[in-house]
Amino acid sequence: MRNAEQKHKARKYSPSFLVDAMLGNIARKLRIFGYDTLYLKDTSDTSLLGIAMREKRVLLTRDKELFRRIIKDGVEGMLLEQYDEIGNIAYIMSKCKIPRLCFDTGVARCSSCNIILTIRRAIDVAGFLPVNIVKNNSNFFQCMNCGRIYWEGKHVTCLKLLAKRINSRIEKYEADPNVLNSIILNKRLKSPQKHNPLLSQDEQNSSLR
Protein backbone atom coordinates (compact mmCIF):
# COMPACT_ATOMS: atom_id res chain seq x y z
CA MET A 1 0.00 0.00 0.00
CA ARG A 2 2.71 2.41 0.97
CA ASN A 3 4.59 1.65 -2.24
CA ALA A 4 1.48 2.31 -4.31
CA GLU A 5 0.89 5.64 -2.57
CA GLN A 6 4.52 6.63 -3.06
CA LYS A 7 4.25 5.69 -6.71
CA HIS A 8 1.19 7.89 -7.06
CA LYS A 9 3.00 10.81 -5.50
CA ALA A 10 5.95 10.18 -7.80
CA ARG A 11 3.79 10.70 -10.89
CA LYS A 12 4.61 14.06 -12.35
CA TYR A 13 0.99 14.98 -12.78
CA SER A 14 -1.86 12.78 -11.77
CA PRO A 15 -5.20 14.50 -12.20
CA SER A 16 -8.23 13.28 -10.33
CA PHE A 17 -11.59 13.06 -12.02
CA LEU A 18 -15.28 13.31 -11.32
CA VAL A 19 -17.39 11.38 -13.81
CA ASP A 20 -21.11 11.86 -14.32
CA ALA A 21 -23.70 9.08 -14.53
CA MET A 22 -23.41 8.58 -18.29
CA LEU A 23 -19.75 7.64 -18.30
CA GLY A 24 -19.44 4.61 -16.02
CA ASN A 25 -17.19 2.68 -18.40
CA ILE A 26 -14.78 5.59 -18.64
CA ALA A 27 -14.71 5.84 -14.83
CA ARG A 28 -13.81 2.15 -14.47
CA LYS A 29 -11.02 2.42 -17.03
CA LEU A 30 -9.53 5.53 -15.44
CA ARG A 31 -9.46 3.74 -12.08
CA ILE A 32 -7.80 0.67 -13.58
CA PHE A 33 -5.14 2.91 -15.06
CA GLY A 34 -4.55 4.40 -11.63
CA TYR A 35 -6.44 7.69 -11.72
CA ASP A 36 -8.44 8.77 -8.69
CA THR A 37 -11.94 8.85 -10.17
CA LEU A 38 -15.18 9.62 -8.40
CA TYR A 39 -18.22 8.26 -10.20
CA LEU A 40 -21.56 9.69 -9.06
CA LYS A 41 -24.81 8.43 -10.55
CA ASP A 42 -27.62 10.15 -8.66
CA THR A 43 -26.22 13.60 -8.11
CA SER A 44 -27.54 16.94 -9.30
CA ASP A 45 -25.50 19.06 -11.68
CA THR A 46 -25.14 21.70 -8.99
CA SER A 47 -23.67 19.15 -6.57
CA LEU A 48 -21.33 17.77 -9.24
CA LEU A 49 -20.03 21.26 -9.95
CA GLY A 50 -19.56 21.91 -6.23
CA ILE A 51 -17.64 18.66 -5.65
CA ALA A 52 -15.44 19.21 -8.71
CA MET A 53 -14.62 22.71 -7.52
CA ARG A 54 -13.98 21.74 -3.86
CA GLU A 55 -11.94 18.62 -4.61
CA LYS A 56 -10.19 20.07 -7.66
CA ARG A 57 -11.38 17.23 -9.87
CA VAL A 58 -11.73 17.37 -13.63
CA LEU A 59 -15.45 16.93 -14.29
CA LEU A 60 -16.15 14.65 -17.25
CA THR A 61 -19.57 14.69 -18.83
CA ARG A 62 -21.50 13.86 -21.97
CA ASP A 63 -24.16 16.42 -21.06
CA LYS A 64 -23.90 19.67 -23.05
CA GLU A 65 -25.98 21.61 -20.56
CA LEU A 66 -23.72 20.56 -17.67
CA PHE A 67 -20.68 21.43 -19.79
CA ARG A 68 -22.11 24.93 -20.33
CA ARG A 69 -22.31 25.30 -16.53
CA ILE A 70 -18.77 23.94 -16.18
CA ILE A 71 -17.54 26.77 -18.41
CA LYS A 72 -19.75 29.38 -16.73
CA ASP A 73 -18.66 28.41 -13.20
CA GLY A 74 -14.98 28.14 -14.12
CA VAL A 75 -14.76 24.48 -13.14
CA GLU A 76 -12.19 22.26 -14.79
CA GLY A 77 -14.07 19.86 -17.04
CA MET A 78 -14.45 18.21 -20.41
CA LEU A 79 -17.30 17.38 -22.70
CA LEU A 80 -16.91 13.87 -24.11
CA GLU A 81 -18.94 13.71 -27.26
CA GLN A 82 -17.47 10.62 -28.85
CA TYR A 83 -19.00 7.20 -28.43
CA ASP A 84 -15.58 5.70 -29.02
CA GLU A 85 -14.11 4.80 -25.61
CA ILE A 86 -10.53 4.79 -26.87
CA GLY A 87 -11.04 8.21 -28.45
CA ASN A 88 -12.55 9.61 -25.26
CA ILE A 89 -9.77 8.37 -22.98
CA ALA A 90 -7.13 9.58 -25.46
CA TYR A 91 -8.88 12.95 -25.51
CA ILE A 92 -8.86 13.14 -21.68
CA MET A 93 -5.16 12.25 -21.54
CA SER A 94 -4.27 14.74 -24.27
CA LYS A 95 -6.16 17.55 -22.60
CA CYS A 96 -4.43 16.70 -19.30
CA LYS A 97 -1.06 16.78 -21.08
CA ILE A 98 -0.42 13.14 -20.28
CA PRO A 99 1.49 11.86 -23.31
CA ARG A 100 1.30 8.19 -22.53
CA LEU A 101 -0.99 5.86 -20.61
CA CYS A 102 0.55 2.82 -18.92
CA PHE A 103 -1.08 -0.07 -17.20
CA ASP A 104 0.73 -0.57 -13.91
CA THR A 105 -0.50 -2.88 -11.16
CA GLY A 106 1.45 -0.73 -8.69
CA VAL A 107 -1.00 2.16 -9.11
CA ALA A 108 -4.16 0.38 -10.30
CA ARG A 109 -7.34 1.07 -8.35
CA CYS A 110 -10.40 -1.08 -7.72
CA SER A 111 -12.73 -0.51 -10.67
CA SER A 112 -15.71 -0.52 -8.28
CA CYS A 113 -14.45 1.43 -5.27
CA ASN A 114 -11.61 3.62 -6.56
CA ILE A 115 -9.37 2.29 -3.77
CA ILE A 116 -5.67 1.64 -4.52
CA LEU A 117 -5.14 -2.12 -4.63
CA THR A 118 -3.03 -3.85 -2.01
CA ILE A 119 -0.51 -6.53 -3.00
CA ARG A 120 -1.46 -9.97 -1.64
CA ARG A 121 0.38 -13.27 -1.56
CA ALA A 122 -1.05 -16.52 -2.89
CA ILE A 123 -1.36 -17.76 0.70
CA ASP A 124 -3.51 -14.72 1.54
CA VAL A 125 -6.05 -15.40 -1.18
CA ALA A 126 -6.08 -19.22 -1.15
CA GLY A 127 -9.54 -20.28 -0.08
CA PHE A 128 -11.15 -17.24 -1.68
CA LEU A 129 -10.33 -18.16 -5.29
CA PRO A 130 -10.51 -21.38 -7.33
CA VAL A 131 -7.46 -23.59 -6.74
CA ASN A 132 -6.29 -23.44 -10.37
CA ILE A 133 -6.19 -19.64 -10.32
CA VAL A 134 -4.12 -19.57 -7.13
CA LYS A 135 -1.85 -22.26 -8.53
CA ASN A 136 -1.31 -20.64 -11.93
CA ASN A 137 -0.76 -17.05 -10.82
CA SER A 138 1.76 -15.44 -8.53
CA ASN A 139 0.67 -11.81 -8.32
CA PHE A 140 -2.54 -10.97 -6.51
CA PHE A 141 -4.11 -7.67 -5.50
CA GLN A 142 -7.03 -6.91 -3.26
CA CYS A 143 -9.36 -4.00 -2.70
CA MET A 144 -9.42 -3.58 1.05
CA ASN A 145 -12.80 -1.87 0.80
CA CYS A 146 -14.95 -4.39 -1.09
CA GLY A 147 -12.60 -7.35 -0.70
CA ARG A 148 -12.50 -8.10 -4.42
CA ILE A 149 -9.38 -9.98 -5.41
CA TYR A 150 -7.62 -9.30 -8.71
CA TRP A 151 -4.82 -11.21 -10.34
CA GLU A 152 -2.60 -10.81 -13.35
CA GLY A 153 -4.51 -12.98 -15.75
CA LYS A 154 -5.06 -12.58 -19.46
CA HIS A 155 -6.81 -9.27 -18.80
CA VAL A 156 -3.49 -7.63 -18.13
CA THR A 157 -2.59 -8.41 -21.74
CA CYS A 158 -5.92 -6.92 -22.82
CA LEU A 159 -5.36 -3.80 -20.71
CA LYS A 160 -1.86 -3.35 -22.10
CA LEU A 161 -3.29 -3.65 -25.59
CA LEU A 162 -5.95 -1.11 -24.71
CA ALA A 163 -3.25 1.27 -23.40
CA LYS A 164 -1.34 0.80 -26.64
CA ARG A 165 -4.38 1.69 -28.73
CA ILE A 166 -5.12 4.73 -26.58
CA ASN A 167 -1.48 5.84 -26.86
CA SER A 168 -1.62 5.56 -30.66
CA ARG A 169 -4.66 7.82 -30.61
CA ILE A 170 -2.93 10.29 -28.28
CA GLU A 171 -0.02 10.44 -30.73
CA LYS A 172 -2.46 11.13 -33.53
CA TYR A 173 -4.05 13.97 -31.57
CA GLU A 174 -0.68 15.41 -30.61
CA ALA A 175 0.51 15.29 -34.22
CA ASP A 176 -2.49 17.31 -35.32
CA PRO A 177 -3.97 19.52 -32.57
CA ASN A 178 -6.77 20.49 -34.96
CA VAL A 179 -8.13 16.96 -34.59
CA LEU A 180 -8.30 17.47 -30.83
CA ASN A 181 -10.01 20.83 -31.15
CA SER A 182 -12.55 19.51 -33.61
CA ILE A 183 -13.70 16.65 -31.41
CA ILE A 184 -16.02 18.78 -29.32
CA LEU A 185 -17.50 20.30 -32.45
CA ASN A 186 -18.10 16.97 -34.13
CA LYS A 187 -21.68 15.93 -34.64
CA ARG A 188 -22.69 12.46 -33.56
CA LEU A 189 -22.36 10.81 -36.92
CA LYS A 190 -21.59 7.35 -35.63
CA SER A 191 -23.95 4.97 -33.88
CA PRO A 192 -23.02 4.07 -30.31
CA GLN A 193 -20.81 1.02 -29.95
CA LYS A 194 -22.97 -1.63 -28.42
CA HIS A 195 -20.26 -4.15 -27.81
CA ASN A 196 -16.65 -3.69 -26.88
CA PRO A 197 -14.85 -7.04 -26.71
CA LEU A 198 -12.37 -5.79 -24.15
CA LEU A 199 -15.06 -4.42 -21.94
CA SER A 200 -17.13 -7.53 -22.27
CA GLN A 201 -14.27 -9.68 -21.09
CA ASP A 202 -13.72 -7.31 -18.23
CA GLU A 203 -17.31 -7.51 -17.16
CA GLN A 204 -17.56 -11.25 -17.31
CA ASN A 205 -14.51 -12.20 -15.30
CA SER A 206 -13.22 -11.42 -11.88
CA SER A 207 -9.56 -10.99 -12.67
CA LEU A 208 -7.89 -7.61 -13.00
CA ARG A 209 -10.48 -5.22 -14.31
Residues in touch with Zn ion (CB under 5 A) = 110, 112-113, 143, 145-146, 148
Q: Say if CB 26 and CB 89 are below 8 A apart.
A: yes
For residues 200 and 189, give the distance between their C-alpha atoms in angstroms, rounded to a whole number. Answer: 24
CB of 165 to Zn ion, least distance (A): 26
Task: Kindly state the greatest CA–CA separation across the chain.
Answer: 55
CB of 115 to Zn ion, least distance (A): 5
Comparing CB distances to Zn ion, the nearer of 144 and 199 is: 144
Q: Say if CB 64 and CB 185 are below 8 A apart.
A: no
CB of 114 to Zn ion, least distance (A): 8
Comparing CB distances to Zn ion, the nearer of 59 and 110 is: 110
CB of 113 to Zn ion, least distance (A): 3
**Residues contacting 176, CB < 8 A, separation 6+:** none
CB-neighbour burial class of residue 170 (10 A; exposed 0-12, middle 13-18, buried 19+): buried
Comparing CB distances to Zn ion, the nearer of 145 and 181 is: 145
Comparing CB distances to Zn ion, the nearer of 53 and 115 is: 115
DSSP 8-state code for residue 117: P
